[in-house]
Amino acid sequence: MSRKALQPLWWVVIGGFSLVPFLWFVLTSWKSPAQITAIPPEIVPEFHWGFYDSALRNYGLLRYIRNSAIVATLTTLISILIGSLAAYALTRFRLSWTRFYLMLLLAISMFPQIAIAGPVWRILNTLGWLNTYQGIVAAYIALSLPLAVWILATFFKELPYEVEEAALVDGCTWVQALWKIVLPLAAPGLFTASILVFIHVWNEFFFALLILTNPALQTLPVGIALFPGEYTMPWGEIAAASTIATLPLIVLTLIFQRRIVRGLSAGAIKG
């Protein structure tokens, strides 16, 4: 079959499109300082490991990765929890305001985030939460709730009500119905929403720049933004740091990609 014959081509085209730019950066991380800006570029690196050493030791990369992991995990857990409660209520109780609330969430996710960074900073300052994990996590929860609630709502609405209704008749409380019946059924949706929120938070730069100035708490995007000196651009260290920092996410997506795809197909798209 001609389709089968085309398979290697798919691999090259799609794999190349996704990977080549990043692989170029990976190769860069193994070059020597003078080789990085060689004209014309040199493909084969000298396998110099100095930039990894420097990124880890002089720039404290692992600390930034740890902070990002803490912040992203906490944000994901809390917003998925709060988001499920809201999404459950919004899909199960057909009240006059539920549709309005969903629309409101969608609308606020359209407002430019940079424009609200100032007021958010002031609130955190009032609470004394600048330079704390709970401060950045609280701001991120608000940023990711619309995404989480929307994805979860599209999943929940597809789940059969009958099982819950039976459980409620049997004397289950609403909480038990959500916890024991709906959540397990919606597991793929929870995974999808979690990974979307996690990556969204993992990538966020501007809020973190303003809110986290204590070097012990700064996250990865801010950390890498701190690499360039006043007049220097440490491409080698940035490339090494990006390579290291991307690995956990690649592993994470490898583990979750089946669930993500399966998850979305379970509900979101049927609309």
User: Which 224-243 positions form the footprint of other proteins (CB under 8 A)?
Assistant: 224-226, 228-233, 235, 238-239, 242
Among 55, 65, 80, 137, interactor with other proteins by CB under 8 A: 137
- Is residue 138 within 8 A of residue 129, CB to CB? The reply is yes
Among 85, 167, 172, 183, interactor with other proteins by CB under 8 A: 85
Using rule CB under 8 A, residue 171 touches other proteins:
no
Using rule CB under 8 A, residue 151 touches other proteins:
no
In the structure encoding, which two tokens stand for residue 97, read together?
A: 């305001």
Among 63, 132, 183, 259, interactor with other proteins by CB under 8 A: 132
Which of 264, 240, 134, 241 has the alpha carbon at shortest distance from 191?
264
CA–CA gap between residue 247 and residue 224 (Å, rounded): 15
Using rule CB under 8 A, residue 145 touches other proteins:
yes
Which of 155, 227, 149 has the alpha carbon at shortest distance from 186?
155
Q: Least CB distance from residue 195 to other proteins, whole Å?
A: 9
Q: Least CB distance from residue 184 to other proteins, whole Å?
A: 18
**Binding flags for other proteins, 172-211, as an x/- string (CB under 8 A):** --xx-----------------------x--xx-xx--xx-
Q: Least CB distance from residue 1 to other proteins, whole Å?
A: 11
CA–CA gap between residue 114 and residue 140 (Å, rounded): 13
Give whichever of 197 and 224 is closer to other proteins, judged by the CB atom.
224
Binders of other proteins: how many residues, by CB under 8 A?
129
CA–CA gap between residue 140 and residue 128 (Å, rounded): 17
Among 56, 89, 172, 244, interactor with other proteins by CB under 8 A: 89
Among 190, 221, 237, 240, interactor with other proteins by CB under 8 A: 221
Site for other proteins in 37-76 (CB under 8 A): 37-41, 43, 70, 74
Provide the 10 A C-beta neighbour count for residue 20.
9
3-state secondary structure 85-114: HHHHHHHHCCCCCHHHHHHHHHHHCCCCHH
Using rule CB under 8 A, residue 1 touches other proteins:
no
Using rule CB under 8 A, residue 12 touches other proteins:
no
Q: Least CB distance from residue 22 to other proteins, whole Å?
A: 6
- Is residue 179 within 8 A of residue 85, CB to CB? The reply is no
| Residues 6 or more apart in contact with residue 7 via CB below 8 angstroms | none
In the structure encoding, which two tokens stand for residue 214, read together?
A: 């204590």
CA–CA gap between residue 260 and residue 220 (Å, rounded): 24
Q: Least CB distance from residue 261 to other proteins, whole Å?
A: 6
Among 48, 62, 98, 244, interactor with other proteins by CB under 8 A: 98
* Sole residue written with tokens 């990977």: 19
Beta strands in the chain (DSSP E): none
- Is residue 136 within 8 A of residue 211, CB to CB? The reply is yes
Using rule CB under 8 A, residue 166 touches other proteins:
no
Using rule CB under 8 A, residue 21 touches other proteins:
yes
